[in-house]
Amino acid sequence: GETINLSGILMIADKNRKILLVEDAKSMRKIEIRILKSIGYDNIIEANDGAEAVEILNNTDQIDLIISDWNMPNMGGYDLLVWVRENETHAKTPFIMATAQADKEQAYKAEDAGCNGFIPKPFTAEELEKTINEVFNKDAVGTEDKELGPQRGASGKVKLRVAHIQITDHLILGIVNRWIMQGDIVPKHFELETHCMAGWNPVEKALETGEVDAAFVLAPIAMDLFHFGVPIKMVLLAHRNGSIFVRNKQGDYQEPYQNFFKQKSVLIPHKMSVHHMLTHMFFSPLNLKASLDKGDDIDINLEVVAPINMPSFMKENNDVGGFVVAEPIGSKSIALGISKKLFLSSEIWENHPCCVVAVRDDFSEPYSEAVQELVDYLVAAGKFIAEQSTMAAFYALRFLDPDKKLGLKLPVLKKVLDDPLGINTDNLYPVKDDIDRMQQYMHDTMGIGHIIDLDSFINTQYAKIACHEIQD
């Protein structure tokens, strides 16, 4: 009657799964292979597109898992998925769609076609392992169930859990956090808990599931979540301006510089981003078609890469022409000699919105006093950054680079905050017309996203008090 523990044996068997990786971009495929190997998967077959994947599948009896990009020439991931589900031999083969098309509509379309897992690019090793384990009905190693919905802190006050990433666009949160830690302010209605995340996908998921109560998030992501029924409201702008377009220092850059970018990639942080819109606004007048879609009519391939990984990704790949990103990522890459500045985002769209503060309804409805208090502090922090850039840059070092992995320097941060065309934090009132311009351009001109009711999405009650002004 001795019980044998087979968990270790099962884990070894799991790692021997034969994986078909379908990805047309060589640089992206290298990264994905590296990630798969880092979590123990070495049995990998590569395909350049869906057509090559079909050829491989027709000549291979056993494939245990397919991981495919969505946008590829010849045959895309969606058409490959449809073919697999109609193929007698491979109809039940688990299929994960890994794609930069990270809006909700694409995820639902893939699910309806029989996709077992959907992972937005860019993804981490942890995210991919979790997705693979979920597909095979196994619990992800080392993960815990996270508490969802509002939680009480040790003081008895409600916790206000706020997600952000490592960019100056979110510095007002860092300033407020620093003030609280130093005892300069003591919130009456909440305990602040900041959650620094690796990229936009974890922020989006945490906000959607209720793992956090609020998030500093790209406006188009928040609007996309709202359209698909996630109960959130936008309460404040996180900043205006603040992004930069840099080009690769490698390569022959000369007039007309349109030729420099043709048949190259440009990196953006997310499909649903103002950076995507600004890239389109820049290249369209030059008669260059830049798109996440693939095809002979595309001049520039857009690739989605996590902001903190953009400099190293471009350094390793000569076919990357540049990237559009929130600061200080671009200025840091310039300081390292990797890139050259092309333009600041405010030169394309003056005083543009970008990231917003979105709060879940299940928090704001019972705890409106806490939301008001946070918005008051954030507005004060925005004015502090505008008036005391040196101290703000000092605070930014610890907030944006707590583990010192980014290698940020005080002079770089101060230069970013002082640039008159750079980030603006003293005008955070959410103007509906600005958000409407964003959604109209992306929907009507670029064909992405949906038109939402902004009166239902934007809640100005807190900003009206914090900004001491009433605007319609």
Q: What is the 3-state secondary structure (H, E, C) of 418-471?
A: HCCCCCECCCCCCCHHHHHHHHHHHHHHCCCCCCCCHHHHECCHHHHHHCCCCC
Calculate mean pLDDT across residues 125-144: 72
Average pLDDT value over all residues in the chain: 89
Evaluate whether 394 touches 409 at the Cβ level (below 8 Å): no
Pairing of β 243-248 and β 339-344: antiparallel
Calculate mean pLDDT across residues 23-45: 89
CA–CA distance, 240 with 101 (Å, rounded to integer):
25
Calculate mean pLDDT across residues 406-433: 93
Residue 240: per-residue pLDDT:
97
Residue 8: per-residue pLDDT:
40
pTM: 0.84
In sequence order, what are the residues at sequence separation of 6 or more whose Cβ sits closer than 8 angstroms to the Cβ of residue 346? 241, 352, 421, 422
Length of the chain: 472
Closest-CA residue to 419 (of 356, 360, 359, 331): 331
Calculate mean pLDDT across residues 95-109: 80
The more confidently predicted of residues 311 and 251 is 311
Residue 169: per-residue pLDDT:
95
pLDDT band for position 145 (50/70/90)?
low
> What percent of the chain stands above pLDDT 90?
67
Residue 323: per-residue pLDDT:
97
CA–CA distance, 428 with 38 (Å, rounded to integer):
42
The more confidently predicted of residues 407 and 275 is 275
Closest-CA residue to 222 (of 211, 44, 235): 235
pLDDT band for position 6 (50/70/90)?
very low
Residue 420: asked if its preceding bond is cis (omega within 30°), the reply is no
Take residue 280 and report the two structure tokens written for it.
């389109």
